[in-house]
Structure 1
Amino acid sequence: MTDNEIDDIDDGACPECGGTVAPDGRCWDCGADRPGFRAHVEIGTAGGAAGVSDRGRHRGVNADAMALATAGPWTVGVVCDGVSMAPRGERAARLAADVGAAALAARLAEGVLPETALAESALRAGRAVTALAVSPGAAPACTYAAGIAGREGIWSAWVGDSRVYWLPDEGPGTALTEDDTGELDVLAAWLGADAGEPAPRIRSYRPAVPGRLLLCTDGLWRHLPDPGALRTVADRGARHGTASAGRPLLAGARALVDHALAAGGQDNITALLLPVAAAAPGRPAATGPG
């Protein structure tokens, strides 16, 4: 469901045998590693949404994943972060992002309410990740954050500590998610066989001004937790991003990732930006496409 990928420099055939490269960078057929697999990934849509994911400076594998899709007037995005203490977290994240975005776009195209689409797509993503487990003690896991931008407003859903922010062109921004963490910031909810059925929390907002919906992993927000700082960096990137002229959200996402890399890049880093128009006045909160 992702359209117009800008650059996914690490996807493709195995350089050794021409086989299929798995989500962890190893060939399904011969087992060879692909150097630099998914070290830096950029995606985008014709409508301007864009995302950047980077392995960071200290991780051997990029266990973050992102996906974009469109369905009529809707733009949707999903960002996931593989749980480092679980096996094959990178595989869980890529599967959850792809399944979640595809299911979300499909249900919106069918005319269901965004809240319903978000809940159902998170459930499908959770079941897909659960199916990866080979035993209760070997259960891949990941966080999950999804966002929708449409004519009537913006919506977010999440499980874990990947975040969604509203970054307006004017006025203060805000976080639309609350981390699922316990004492000492220990993750308290995730997708995976050892987590049970996901129970995503969902939040909606009707913006009065245009802006951007930002979905990101903790590799970004730990360096920039404040919505105002996130918007400042993204705006600066959009103004000065000559390499991505005509794609301000791509330039903004690049600037956010570059900021985290400059701050140390301790973790994988992902920033996904969806364009948001001011909500149409007088329209119902959610009516599906049309």
Structure 2
Amino acid sequence: MTVAVCERCAAPLAPEAAFCEVCGGAVAATLPDELGDRLHFGQSPASWVAGVCDRGAARERNEDAMAMAAVEPAGSHAALVVCDGVTSAENSDVASLAAARAALAILAAPFSIGLGGTHSAQVAGRRTFERAVREAQQAVLRESERNVKAPGACTFVAAVVMGPLVWHSCIGDSRAYLIPDEGKPLLLTRDDSMAEMMIAAGMPRADAEDTPLAHTITRWLGADAPDLNPRATQIEVTSPGWLLVCSDGLWNYASAPQDLAQVVREAAEVFPKPLALAEALVQWANDQGGHDNITVALARVGD
């Protein structure tokens, strides 16, 4: 009988393991094996975590990538990573998949926080995200070396659930939202985009995101990346709801937290399970036009 081994450290893997118990690397079986599998695929590494990645209605290929790991019981630990390939770079589908896999290999294992209390936990969280971004960047650069004439680039957003705490970070304009069943929804991340710069200068969000330069990103993973500081922060979940990590193929149609929350809450009434809800949100985005690739990664938190 063939024993599965970790791609990162070659340690034997337990059956149906979500991550390696030795190095924390993500198990490849939870990820798409080939680029061709990415036209539409779903993942559900645990009962409370799932995601769907889809090429959308208008694109020929899917340049989004998604990777996730989670363990039971619900709310204990999960890592969700979404990377969106930069359309102007030819091999961005390859870059985004490499980045998502590399980042998950770092984020899949619970942070080691030692005995230093709150400050130690914060330092450990920031350092773990810094490592994840470095590994993702190196993975993109390695793929670019293989395709020198057409190097790829991508965005990065990730969220890690550790009990009541959610760590999150992004580079580019993929996002993380916290949507409670009741109460005020939150956009956790801040875009690195021209639209965000216009919003900071005082332009209303709806107007800024409707300009021709709105989706021009100011940070990315790949060649000539200007800044790789992941700006990792944390938030405490105090009530039941959904952690949503997504590409702009979803939030394009409902950017403001209250607008996207309405879509999620209405869909969750019909599809309360994470995988079915992710499928419903992807279908909703396609129904709005599906002009871009769509990735929806969900974790049920706060229960």
TM-score, normalised with respect to structure 2: 0.75
Which secondary structure state, in structure 1, belongs to the residue aligned with residue 38 of structure 2? coil
Aligned to 2:176, which of 134, 139, 164?
A: 164
After superposition, residues 223-242 of structure 1 pair within 5 angstroms as 223-241=253-271
**Partners of 1:126 and 1:198 in 2: CA distance:** 8
Write the distance in 2 (CA, Å) between the matches of 1:155 and 1:255: 26
| Paired position in structure 1 for 2:137 | 126
Which residue, 79, 84, 104 being the options, matches 1:81?
84
- TM-aligned CA deviation for residue 144 of structure 1: 0.2
Partner deviation per Cα, 1:101-126 (whole Å, 9 max, x = no partner):
11112362686722221221111111
Q: What is aligned with 1:264?
A: 289
State the 1:4 CA deviation. Answer: 11
Contact conserved, 2:185 with 2:257, CA < 8 A, in 1?
Answer: yes
* TM-score, structure 1 as length reference: 0.78
1:44-55 matched pairs, under 5 angstroms: 44-55=44-55
Q: 1:115 aligns with which of 114, 126, 134?
A: 126
Contact 1:62 1:90 in 2 (8 A): yes
Larger CA deviation: 190-199 vs 207-216? 190-199
**Structure 2 unaligned blocks of 5 or more:** 1-18, 20-25, 115-120, 196-212
Q: Deviations over 1:18-69 (max 9, x none)?
A: xxx4x3x3xxxxxxxxxxx422111112241010111111111000011111
Partner of 1:282: none
Indicate the SS of the match to 1:267. coil
Q: Secondary structure at the match of 1:131?
A: helix
**Counterpart secondary structure, 2:96:** helix
Whole-Å separation in 2 of the counterparts to 1:70 and 1:273:
11
- The aligned runs of 1:123-162 (5 Å cut-off) are 123-134=134-145, 138-162=150-174
Shift of 1:237: 2.4
Which one has a larger percent helix, Structure 1 or Structure 2? 2
Who is 1:285 aligned against?
A: none
Map of 1:207-246 to 2, 5 A cutoff? 207-241=237-271
1:15 aligned residue: none
Listed as ranges, the gaps of 5+ residues in structure 1 are: 13-20, 26-36, 242-246, 279-290
| Pair 1:110–1:136, CA change in 2 (3 A) | farther
1:227 offset after TM fit, Å?
A: 1.9
Asked whether the 8 Å contact 1:5–1:45 carries over to 2, the reply is no
Superimposed CA distance per residue, residues 137-169 of structure 1 (whole angstroms, 9 cap, x where no aligned partner): 632100000001122411111000000101112
